[in-house]
Amino acid sequence: MSWQYAGYIWSAYAAAAVILPGVALVSVLRRRWRHGSRPCGAPMKRKTQRMLFVGAGLTILAFAGALAFFAMGDNVRFFYSPGDLQKLAAPPSGAFHLGGLVKPGSVRKDDGLVMRFVLTDGNFETPVVYDQTKYGLVPDLFAEGQGAVAEGRLGPDGAFIASRVLAKHDEKYMPPEVADALKRSGEWQRGESGSP
């Protein structure tokens, strides 16, 4: 089992641990209050009962949602195009996805398996460094002029240090985030024909 999925499994267990006892408690209280045996004596009005159950349900749901959100933690990655990255006041400190087209003529290999290339959205460019000895080879469909998404962090020199590179899987497919970034930059017309 991969550590990547451990957060999801933990959040499922945490949600079940919160929701199941909460549902059982609401069920028991509902049965007791329906028959008029309220702990403090007098029977409760139906509207008050309904509001209490809705409030308890929303509280349990909010708690389960918060647990799931915090359990995912680092598994949530933000997507930026090179243009979005240039427009930020401060560069992101954590890992994120960077997507765009691989600039023609920019792909080169240093020291055997360290690959350098440039991702562009048509207006802005970001240099990317990918060490294939650490993280594996790039996909076979990775090519100049094609859409790609890299996952990693910004290095101190402003280059994007990728830990994973994803390429489109056929001629017509482009990752939705990359397509949106190209549409925003006005470069989508080139990419629409299949050969950007």
Tell me the pTM: 0.55
pLDDT of residue 194: 45
134: nearest Cα among 154, 115, 149, 121: 115
Let me know whether 137 and 69 are in one domain.
no
Let me know whether 45 and 112 are in one domain.
no
Query: How far apart, in whole angstroms, are the C-alpha atoms of residue 108 and residue 4?
Result: 31
Domains: count for the chain = 2
Let me know whether 177 and 127 are in one domain.
yes
Let me know whether 58 and 83 are in one domain.
no
Task: List the pLDDT tens digit at each of the 196 positions of the chain.
Answer: 444 455 566 666 666 666 767 677 767 666 666 555 555 556 667 887 788 788 888 888 888 888 777 776 655 667 888 888 888 888 787 888 888 889 999 999 887 789 999 998 888 999 999 998 888 888 888 888 888 889 999 988 889 999 999 886 555 556 676 677 777 766 655 444 444 4
pLDDT of residue 53: 81
Let me know whether 49 and 125 are in one domain.
no
Let me know whether 16 and 98 are in one domain.
no
Let me know whether 13 and 60 are in one domain.
yes
Residue 181's domain comprises 78-192
Let me know whether 105 and 30 are in one domain.
no
The amino acid that residue 41 corresponds to is G
Let me know whether 149 and 93 are in one domain.
yes
Query: How far apart, in whole angstroms, are the C-alpha atoms of residue 105 and residue 143?
Result: 10
List, in order, residues 6 or more apart from 67 with CB less than 8 Å away. Answer: 11, 14, 15, 18
pLDDT of residue 81: 85
pLDDT of residue 37: 54
Let me know whether 93 and 65 are in one domain.
no
Let me know whether 85 and 105 are in one domain.
yes
The sign of the CA dihedral 10, 13, 17, 19 is positive
